[in-house]
Amino acid sequence: MARAIGFLVYPGFQLLDATGPIAAFEIAGRLSPGAYSLHFLSLNGGLTPSSSGVVIQTTALADAPRLDTLLVSGGDGVKVPAACARTLAFVREAGRLSRRVASVCSGTYVLAEAGLLDGKRATTHWSRTKDFQRRYPKIRLEPDRIFIQDGSVWSSAGITAGIDLALALIGADEGEAVARRTAQQLVVYHHRPGGQSQHSALIDLRPGRFDALLSWARQNLSESLSVEQLAVRAAMSPRNFARLFSQETGVTPAKAVERLRVEAARALLDSGPLQVEDVALETGFGDSERMRRAFIRAYGQPPQALRRAAKAS
């Protein structure tokens, strides 16, 4: 029997929060016929406009079928369903009767208001971290995650992270082979691990004349990447390079390199079988102790703790 997947939207939902996971489940259903039936839901049914103006034809919550999975979309309009007694009652009931409930981006607010996340780990879009933590102190928010599973409740970061979440759900249902083929059809990675950071070290640095140099450094992390080596590649004296680099990017060359190494090391730890010592060598830290200190500075936790959390998600 097909698993009924419900996608809850509302006026002002973010289009890709819904359509990304919808496309993933639709493709998986073609690859594994009979696996899924898709249902687009809103409070009162009918045409529901996204924040972009594109509309989706929906079924009223009162007429929704028994769901295997409910997935709540995020968006600027999330305050309305998060304060709607009928919507929250429906979500609460889904949490009781459905096999699992999930959210994309700020859809986490709806799960929080429904009480489904109290005492649980969750994530949401990085831009909403402070507000979410202030509103819901009982929830163990982990803001630097792509997606998180805690029991039967899943949550994900913004926009495209909903696709990562959907691929993880599909993999749990139909196996990794179907999830991998779905990702290939979508032309996306299969799949970014839940523990991967929402941020890129390069995005966090101010753009400027050193962008190409930083991209090269990220591809050559096993090099020493000392100020002297980077200065030679930038065709500058070490002193002038260090001064201009700090002025333009906002951090020292050493700190920028450490950010790149930590980001690469965390991705390897989350997605591969390499030992911590091997990851330290692969990413240029040289030894695991040096990498451990860098992880504590960046994440407040050592590599082993983050790896365990990623495997648990």
Q: Quick: pLDDT tens for 196-217.
A: 555 555 555 555 788 889 888 9
Q: Quick: pLDDT tens for 171-183.
A: 999 998 898 899 8
Is residue 39 included in any domain, yes or no? yes
How far apart (Å, rounded) are the C-alpha atoms in residues 71 and 187? 22
**Which own/partner contact pairs does 298-302 have at CB distance under 8 Å and 24+ positions apart?**
298/258, 298/259, 298/262, 299/144, 299/262, 299/266
Query: Which range marks the domain in which residue 254 is found?
Result: 201-312
Is residue 195 included in any domain, yes or no? no
Looking up residue 291, the CATH number of its domain turns out to be 1.10.10.60
Are 93 and 116 in contact by the 8 Å Cβ rule? The answer is no
Among 164-173, 183-192, 253-262, 285-294, the range scoring the smallest mean pLDDT is 183-192
Give whichever of 45-59, 248-262, 291-305 has the largest mean pLDDT: 45-59
Burial (CB count <10 Å: 0-12, 13-18, 19+), residue 59: middle
Q: Which tokens is 192 given?
A: 């970014």
Looking up residue 123, the CATH number of its domain turns out to be 3.40.50.880
Percent of the residues in the chain that have a pLDDT greater than 90, as a whole number? 65
**84 is annotated as an active-site residue:** no
Looking only at the bridges linking them, the beta strands covering 140-141 and 46-49 are unpaired
Same domain, 20 and 157: yes
How far apart (Å, rounded) are the C-alpha atoms in residues 251 and 109? 34
Give whichever of 19-28, 145-154, 195-204, 286-295 has the largest mean pLDDT: 19-28
pLDDT for res 308: 77
Indicate if the pLDDT at residue 191 is higher than 50: no
Q: Given 105, 114, 117, 161, which residue is catalytic?
A: 105
Residues listed for the chain: 313
Same domain, 179 and 224: no
Number of domains present in the structure of the chain: 2
